[in-house]
Amino acid sequence: MKVYVTGVAGFIGSTLAMRLLKDGVEVSGMDNLNAYYDVRLKERRLERLKTFPGFSFEKMDLAESDRIKKSITSFKPEAIVHLAAQAGVRYSLENPQAYVDSNITGTLNILEACRLHPVKHLIYASTSSVYGIAENMPFSEKNHTSHQLSFYAATKKANEAMAHSYSSLFEIPTTGLRFFTVYGPWGRPDMALFLFTKNILEGKPINVFNHGHHKRDFTYVDDIVESIVRLIPKPPKLNEEWDALHPDPSFSRSPYRIFNIGNSTSVELIDYIHAIEKALGKKAEMNLLPLQKGDVPNTLADCSALEKWTGFRPNTPVETGISNFVKWYREYYQV
């Protein structure tokens, strides 16, 4: 099998590519290796992948429409997993144009490439942030999502709408994945676990927003990858039984699906920090601050649809995932 992965030098993209390559899948990937965070970390991820003969890589930007189309049509993948994006809630307040270029224009270019080379399945990353101000937890894909709190979330909601239009117009099977706070080895340096671990080890204070009282459905990266691997061979199909008078937004008549991928457990941030302290054997000095603009107070995923579709539900305990990350961090940075 041949799978094309965008954002292959990223946290989830590189972890997915590694799993696919170990499973004997031929993987071609692209990434622009931008400087949003440490490029050396991205290059190290790529170095691991390049040890496999079934891996190929092209450095390019999602906005390069012709190059994207040429890359995909020449590789001829059965499936595309589109993970490249401009991530981060807070950065979207500073540089919204970067999110339009990457998340809107970039996703359009992937969809257009799928018109030129019809794939059996296009899987793309959305986010739990699309639930916005909703408080009816656990969040279900059946809930309507019309009130995003950040521009980042708005671009991801737009991706879902764009994918549906291409599924409807051109019968391209698309599956959107709403990730819930992904963490684990080889993670992003701008995310809480990475920042907390770094500062605690260096004896620096950590910024704890909402005084540590907001809750997150922390999802271990290997569980995200396992979900994607199981979804790749299970594309959605046309469904004439979909009821337009009582519409379920998680699917439609078109070959289109939305799935949550979360751990189905909501952990208070302060308890997450205590788990990091335990793994490090060191206490944190905390700056307690109010909730930041754009952040949702709490998240909790209903993953019953994912389990029904794939037979798998993420289940890695936070303590296990944090311990694995700390072990990787100490080895990688020789701390």
Measured at the alpha carbon of residue 229, what is the angle toward residues 76 and 235, in degrees to the nearest 5? 65
How many CB atoms within 10 Å of residue 288? 12
Which residue out of 99, 124, 152, 256 is catalytically annotated?
152
Tokens describing residue 236? 């959605």
Question: Looking at the DSSP assignment, which residues form a beta bridge with residue 51?
Answer: none
Torsion-angle region of 203 (φ positive above 0: left; ψ -120 to 50: alpha; else: beta): left
> Does residue 272 carry a catalytic annotation?
no
DSSP class of 315:
-
Residues 6+ apart with CB under 8 A from 331: none
- Mapped onto helix, strand or coil, the DSSP state of residue 151 is helix
Distance, in Å, from the CA atom of 245 to the CA atom of 226, rounded to the nearest integer, reads 35
Q: What is the DSSP string of 192-238?
A: HHHHHHHHHHTT--EEEEGGG--EE--EEHHHHHHHHHHHTT-----
Residues that are catalytic: 152
